[in-house]
Structure 1
């Protein structure tokens, strides 16, 4: 393959952005903002209500951060028919909210409302006061009643009124709920506020205290030997937050081991929140954070950790333009051994709240009795060799101690393969050490036999997409699929009969999700890239996860799999940080003699014979019916293809056709 076939375009790859740019996320160049702005103008028709400008507040954001464009580009607008009244007073009470890391923040509402109404000659504060006073004198209420009235008038009413069954604090903050005493008054004095909303969702039981009856170590033990988990999701039935699920607190809990020190590899960090996830007894233990930030972003991260004297940092070297440190991995050193965790979530609160994320957790690896050795204590999957190889690629002195820790432990019980990516142009034998060529090599040695898998499809599932070329033959359906479709004994197979199915959220998936449109900030498929590769959309399938109760928990997880045509078995499964991009997986250059990778990534490959002593996994997403050795998938099979009306989620264009599940619209800045 010639150089011209590779991805050599020097431009940022949004597929490796986990979230919309913010304080600790690389900001896109000015040209991207201009393209977004121009498209936004084209997409807004004259008869649509324009999206108002909303300022964003970040707890640690500086003037420099704002000038560099690191505030979130995603805006929401509350849909409230009462605000569409022709009276000046009602129109002045529009309640706009800012988003801070995906959460509704009302702290600046009063200042915004006052500013907006001042331009119309109606000071918002005085308007509120007059209404409250009028109601106070008529009903003889106390000052507490006045406060409740202000709150209820600042929020749109819940359509279920006093009969609302929801107990979610976020719901109570977003909608007013009349008490029994004033329900009659509301019925007499308030017109119907029925509004256009998303389709009604089924009532779901929320998490209960019964989940705390099982220690995390019990959940971990029950999931062996596969040890594959999803993160717990707030707001879904507790039935789906029990077996095969772990929170960050669970992973770091005392029941999992007596922690002595830890190392966190990640793309994004919220340091104060991260420390709170450790048990109190572990919060002073040494912690090394491995990141890829530079300049002001690096300084901001270090400033957040200044009061935590136990935290140190390691900056990953990014040798390729627009590469990222996208790896999500933990090293947990206990008094009795070492544990490795490989997952898909950033170390920020919203990634562990209402998204679907994947986790692999190793057993505790004991110390070698013979002392440090890079070869002794390796597993049949060469987990120790490959992990040392990956860590050594950082060429960082801060990681020397952890390389030594790995060398001193017996990792022979590891039953998965490492598939990592590190930046650079990898030649000769190193071409097969990383990226999709590493996956090709592993499947050539350990994959399904040709006779078994010749008609088996391949599934790719991810949260963002990079620039893949003008046609599928540029990379996806030839080079990349060749690696995914590799069978034992040969690295070259006829690709014509191999179906390639890609699972990626639709606009409706995002709109009706638990988070609503803000979930789309973690699914960065840009309009500029999508316009160049319309051929890709014929591969797309909807996000469906009824079996795991996560239909409405948008996927930030990335997985690749080869299921059977009957959908009940799988030849292998991979969970990784790698999205669908050349930057993550690599692209062959110079007639295939070298593999060029831009980013750091890591994942683990599950091969049946090393886990269940069989040629295939029995697989299902129905967690309630899963047996001990069933691979419980994060999504439903068979995948459901896009309908004619389905469109892939694109994060940098407006979505105003319908409000989301929380009554908001999506308006890029």
Structure 2
């Protein structure tokens, strides 16, 4: 059996991965234990993580079962019977790749690869052993219909039972639900992809054999060779022009057998932890039917220009395997989409006479200046993300001069004297994380480091706690990223952005302010989001906040308002606090 390429840093928690790869550090601990949860775990490891992984080994390679099999084999000529790990029966539809070779560090029960294969198949047949929150199939279409006009969801939280039944909670399995359409092919564009975990969901959705194109950003040895084992999967790593740039977009396309398609824009990576106890956001498009063959080339566009902006974004990848999907988008009817596509692509970008600013925070500013209702300058710009970049020596350096300067824009006529609105930043405090469902490990999705934080002490004056009791997610740390302006006095939301982009120059862009040339916005990352503007979503000037207004549903804000500022003794959670845990 192959050794896991991540070694001691393996964060996986799914049984398929542990059936395919051995882990010498886990095997050593497992061998010394009694097989019933009593282990001596070295201090250098996360006790919680290792315990979870050892439980999987107990399930896949039970020592007691191995002993019984050995005794049965020696006392009878009949072949040994493999104890089922979960209810179900073996099937040729197993999603597992065939293990090769063996590892002497594995427990005795793992040496028989045929028994292992049977166990994996049996395990894979029980969806509740694989996916912690299972919603009955067939209901997603009605759930999406009821989510109109916003179509915005938060992921279900494993340890927060109320979210399992919340109308605007969703699981990955529901996105693949047959009630939304019969899937014929898909595209997954994401930063981190655990392909075994993802294919497990495809297996249970009945689409494991359908073509899947994966564009990924983070290094993944498993994806490099996935085509050998799963020929229906094409995996391409997105190459970045600069060393510290990131292909950070989280987006999927679902193609259906009737020729229609759907776009999903998300904040979640495609691996288990991001869909477990972390708050994530998703926007799901309506079903986008195929246009008639003789349709005009400009047909099927939305009032927001979503289709053109999406195609222009995809062209920036310069990946030939995307061409059939760009063609499919061109031939699809996007007129039902009521949000704006908001992207970031690497490079230097200048304003054009046709589109204005094309990407990043400048693009958001262009859209707000055209379409946002006039907003009082006292209304704050509220930012919320799961990481924070290097923002400069003071709040003016980039936050005010670049970022808030774009996000403060509205359709007020040019010439009126304007003030800089207040800036507020929602980011989990140390107390938020330590009290989370996963304890300190809940901060694993918050990669903000001490080195950066020490250079911007001014930021603490603007920080707000993570609180989401109205959505049952105060203890589910936010990997979601969102930006908005809202007025608590009249309970109104002026606009809202859901995006993959954290609060950073790399994600949103930084202007080159050379006075001799037209300002150039430098962006490092690929990012994707959607902008909700009331005039296009509800036909009103603002969204209602908190309660429905004249039949218009309240906007589903992911956190509680009013916001809760950091207390004097609060401090932001820093990734460095986890060093003693990993």
Same-fold call, TM cutoff 0.5: yes
> Which residue of 1 is the match for residue 444 of structure 2?
521
Verify: 1:644 aligned to 2:557, yes or no: no
- On the 8 A contact 1:208/1:238 being kept in 2, the answer is no
Verify: 1:400 aligned to 2:307, yes or no: no
Q: How does 1:616-635 map to 2 (within 5 A)?
A: 616-620=542-546, 629-635=553-559
Matching residue within 286, 291, 295 for 1:363: 286
> Which residue of 1 is the match for residue 241 of structure 2?
319
Matching residue within 209, 212, 220 for 1:287: 212
User: How big is the shift at 1:462?
Assistant: 0.4
Q: Secondary structure at the match of 2:383?
A: strand
Q: How does 1:656-667 map to 2 (within 5 A)?
A: 667=580
Q: Which runs of 5+ in 1 are unaligned?
A: 1-21, 25-53, 72-91, 111-206, 655-665
Q: How does 1:314-463 map to 2 (within 5 A)?
A: 314-336=236-258, 337-371=260-294, 375-429=298-352, 432-449=357-374, 452-463=375-386
Q: How does 1:184-583 map to 2 (within 5 A)?
A: 212=136, 215-238=139-162, 241-278=165-202, 279-293=204-218, 297-304=219-226, 306-336=228-258, 337-371=260-294, 375-429=298-352, 432-449=357-374, 452-489=375-412, 496=419, 498-566=421-489, 568-583=491-506
User: How big is the shift at 1:315?
Assistant: 3.0
- On the 8 A contact 2:176/2:205 being kept in 1, the answer is no
User: How big is the shift at 1:458?
Assistant: 1.3
User: How big is the shift at 1:573?
Assistant: 0.5
- On the 8 A contact 1:423/1:599 being kept in 2, the answer is yes
Superposed CA deviations along residues 224-263 of structure 1, whole A, max 9, x for unmatched, are 1110100011111336642011110000111111001000
User: How big is the shift at 1:323?
Assistant: 0.5
CA distance in 2, matches of 1:492, 1:400: 44
- On the 8 A contact 1:97/1:105 being kept in 2, the answer is no
User: How big is the shift at 1:568?
Assistant: 1.8
- On the 8 A contact 1:230/1:356 being kept in 2, the answer is yes
Q: Secondary structure at the match of 1:340?
A: strand
Q: Secondary structure at the match of 2:236?
A: strand
Return closer, same or farther for 1:567/1:398 CA change in 2, 3 Å cut-off.
farther
User: How big is the shift at 1:208?
Assistant: 8.9
CA distance in 2, matches of 1:392, 1:226: 27
Q: Secondary structure at the match of 1:341?
A: strand
- On the 8 A contact 1:426/1:596 being kept in 2, the answer is yes
> Which residue of 1 is the match for residue 111 of structure 2?
none
Q: Secondary structure at the match of 1:572?
A: strand
Return closer, same or farther for 1:490/1:484 CA change in 2, 3 Å cut-off.
farther
> Which residue of 1 is the match for residue 83 of structure 2?
none
Return closer, same or farther for 1:100/1:331 CA change in 2, 3 Å cut-off.
farther
Q: How does 1:70-109 map to 2 (within 5 A)?
A: 98-99=45-46, 104-105=51-52, 107=54
CA distance in 2, matches of 1:641, 1:558: 18
Return closer, same or farther for 1:546/1:58 CA change in 2, 3 Å cut-off.
closer
Superposed CA deviations along residues 603-644 of structure 1, whole A, max 9, x for unmatched, are 000011111111000023x89x99762111100011100001
CA distance in 2, matches of 1:103, 1:374: 56
Q: Secondary structure at the match of 2:576?
A: coil
- TM-score calculated relative to the size of structure 2: 0.76
- On the 8 A contact 1:102/1:519 being kept in 2, the answer is no
CA distance in 1, matches of 2:9, 2:168: 37
CA distance in 1, matches of 2:133, 2:207: 26
State the number of aligned residues: 476
- On the 8 A contact 1:455/1:565 being kept in 2, the answer is no
Return closer, same or farther for 1:273/1:298 CA change in 2, 3 Å cut-off.
closer
User: How big is the shift at 1:390?
Assistant: 0.5
CA distance in 1, matches of 2:243, 2:417: 34
Q: Secondary structure at the match of 2:459?
A: helix
Superposed CA deviations along residues 47-84 of structure 1, whole A, max 9, x for unmatched, are xxxxxxx95446789xxxx9xxxx9xxxxxxxxxxxxx
CA distance in 2, matches of 1:488, 1:313: 43
Return closer, same or farther for 1:302/1:101 CA change in 2, 3 Å cut-off.
farther
CA distance in 2, matches of 1:344, 1:518: 19
User: How big is the shift at 1:371?
Assistant: 4.7
User: How big is the shift at 1:271?
Assistant: 0.5
- On the 8 A contact 2:188/2:214 being kept in 1, the answer is yes
- On the 8 A contact 2:360/2:523 being kept in 1, the answer is yes
Superposed CA deviations along residues 66-106 of structure 1, whole A, max 9, x for unmatched, are 9xxxx9xxxxxxxxxxxxxxxxxxxx967758459967445
- On the 8 A contact 1:471/1:535 being kept in 2, the answer is yes
Larger relative CO (CA 8 A, sep 6+): 1 or 2?
1
Return closer, same or farther for 1:97/1:307 CA change in 2, 3 Å cut-off.
farther
Q: Which runs of 5+ in 2 are unaligned?
A: 26-38, 58-131
> Which residue of 2 is the match for residue 599 of structure 1?
525
Pairwise CA RMSD: 3.1
Which moved further from structure 2: 476-485 or 596-605?
476-485
Q: Secondary structure at the match of 1:218?
A: helix
